[in-house]
Amino acid sequence: MTSLRNLPSIDALLRQSAELQAAFGHDQTVRALRQVVDSARQMALNGQGVPDAETLLAEAAAHLERAARPTLRPVINASGVIVHTNLGRAPLSDDTLAAMLAVAGGYSTLEYELEAGVRGKRDRHIERLLLDVTGAEAGMVVNNNASGVLLALTALAKEREVIISRGQLVEIGGSFRVPDVMAQSGAIMVEVGTTNRTHLRDYAHAITGNTAAILRAHASNFRVIGFTKSVPLAELVTLAREHDVLVMDDIGSGALINPADFGLGHEPLIQD
């Protein structure tokens, strides 16, 4: 059959789709039926045969089942990358999962101080642990490293200059580019040095009365080797203190324990 007259109507198909409507709802079923009918109509216009009602209902059912299938599913990581961003990064331990389930299964003290009987802050749960592990004075958790850089630049350097080595204008997965994040924050990027060599004097000569910070970005997914020069963090901190400006150290993924202890490549430690 190739005539459009032989194409069942949506109403006719709906009268035969009680099971689909019970499983997926009326609106979703109508949407799926319209898609398969539109596809069948295009087939007829191209001179192909028009499917019968049973075939169209089967196609709609397959479409609904695919749409209802969760997009977040377990996979086997055979990439060779242990902490893989696209595959969910590090798997959670059994103890961690159990602790999450114990709290998430009911109400909790997310933003409540039981002892004082007043509203609390949700950051306090993780901040205490971060301070203990890292020795930092304060801490907070955001979605990812790019979020942290953007928040820091926006809060501390908006409409002011931030100095960074040209060798650290990195781009990592997900199109995170330091120049783009800098622009979005409202900070004014000041590039110093060259791709392979940047000296302390390059930073010093770039500091002005409008300088807010020096930014150091970790080259987490590439290496520049050979005739190179970079400035150690301690020297940048000393220079910044002399001029009363901030130092922001973007260490990429970072680590709380040394990956080298497990035979993995070195990553900068947050404690450092």
50, HSE (Cβ side, Cα atoms, 13 Å): 17
pLDDT at 85: 81
Q: Quote the pTM value.
A: 0.72
Unique residue bearing structure tokens 């001179």: 47
- In angstroms, the CA 247 to CA 217 distance is 11
The SS3 assignment for 241 reads: helix
- In angstroms, the CA 35 to CA 42 distance is 11
- In angstroms, the CA 181 to CA 146 distance is 8
pLDDT in tens, the chain (272 residues): 456 778 889 999 999 999 999 999 999 999 999 999 999 998 888 888 888 999 999 999 999 999 999 999 999 999 988 778 889 888 999 999 999 999 998 999 999 999 999 999 988 888 988 899 888 898 888 888 888 999 999 999 999 999 999 999 988 766 788 999 999 999 999 999 999 999 999 999 999 999 999 999 987 767 788 899 999 999 999 999 999 999 999 987 778 888 888 887 777 888 87
Beta bridge partners of 189: 162
Under a CB-based contact definition with an 8 Å cutoff, are residues 141 and 123 in contact? Answer: yes
- In angstroms, the CA 3 to CA 49 distance is 8
Unique residue bearing structure tokens 């159990």: 98
pLDDT at 2: 54
- Closest to 4 measured CA to CA, from 61, 65, 59, 49: 49
The CATH fold assigned to 144-262 is Aspartate Aminotransferase; domain 2 (3.40.640)
Name the residue ranges covered by the structural domains of the chain: 4-68, 144-262
Unique residue bearing structure tokens 């949506």: 10
- In angstroms, the CA 88 to CA 79 distance is 13
- In angstroms, the CA 256 to CA 254 distance is 7
68-98: b (≥16 Cβ within 10 Å) or e? eeeeeeeeeeeeeeeeeeebeeeeeeeeeee
